[in-house]
A and B are shown apart, each in its own frame.
Chain A
C-alpha cells in the first residue's frame, strides 16, 4: 500500500514569492492534516480536513496561507507571499478519521522542506 505522497521534497524561493505544496493521502483515508515543523521542534497543526471540509483551521495564518482539498482526496497548501519566517518543513498526514479505530493512527509523508531567501 502506498504511503502519503508529498511534492516537492525541497523548495527554495525568494521572499514575497508564492509557493504551493501538494499532498496525496493514503487511499481511503478521510482525514488529512497539514503540519508545520520548525527546526528542532515538534510538528504543529495548521489545518485538518474531514473529506473536503476544513474542520480545524484555527492555526492557519489566513492572511497568507490557504489550503484546499478538492473532491476529498488530494490537497494543496499555498503561501502567498512567502516570508523569511516561513522556512520550515511542511508535513502532510492522513488517517481513517471517524471511520477508524480509536487509535486512528496518523501516517505522515516525507514533508516539503521550504527555504525562503
Chain B
C-alpha cells in the first residue's frame, strides 16, 4: 500500500537560512509522482513543486528544490533563504502512476515550519 512518512512534526529555522523538510515514501509501483504543498493558517493548500519518478534531475522552483533519492525512497524539500511568510504546514504527497492524471493524492502527516526573525 502507498504510504508517505514525514517524521518532523515541527521545525524551526532562522530567517534567510535554508531548511530541509523530510519525506519518505513507500510504493510498489515504479511509476509515481511526488508533490509538496504548503498550507498556511488560512487553510488553502498551495502547490509548490513536483517530481516524477522517471525525472533524471531534481526539481527546482524558485527557492524550492526537491532532493530526490529514488533508491532511498526519499523526496526532501529544501527551502533556501527562508522568509517569515514561509511559516506554515508543509505536506508531502504521492500519486501512483506518472501518467495517472486525475489520480488521488496520498498525503503525509505534515511538518509545521516556523521561521524566526
Contact = CB atoms under 8 A, between A and B. Distances in A.
Interface of A: 30-31, 33, 40-45, 48, 50, 55-56, 89, 91, 93, 95-111, 113
13 contacts: A31-B102, A42-B93, A42-B107, A50-B102, A97-B101, A98-B101, A98-B102, A101-B101, A102-B33, A102-B52, A102-B98, A103-B50, A105-B47
B12 interface: no
Contacts, number: 70
Interface residues of B, number: 26
B62 interface: no
Given A109-B44, A110-B44, A100 B101 contact: yes
Interface of B: 4, 33, 35, 37, 42-47, 50, 52, 91, 93, 95, 98-99, 101-105, 107-110
Contact of B102 (A40, A43, A97): A97
Nearest to B99: A102
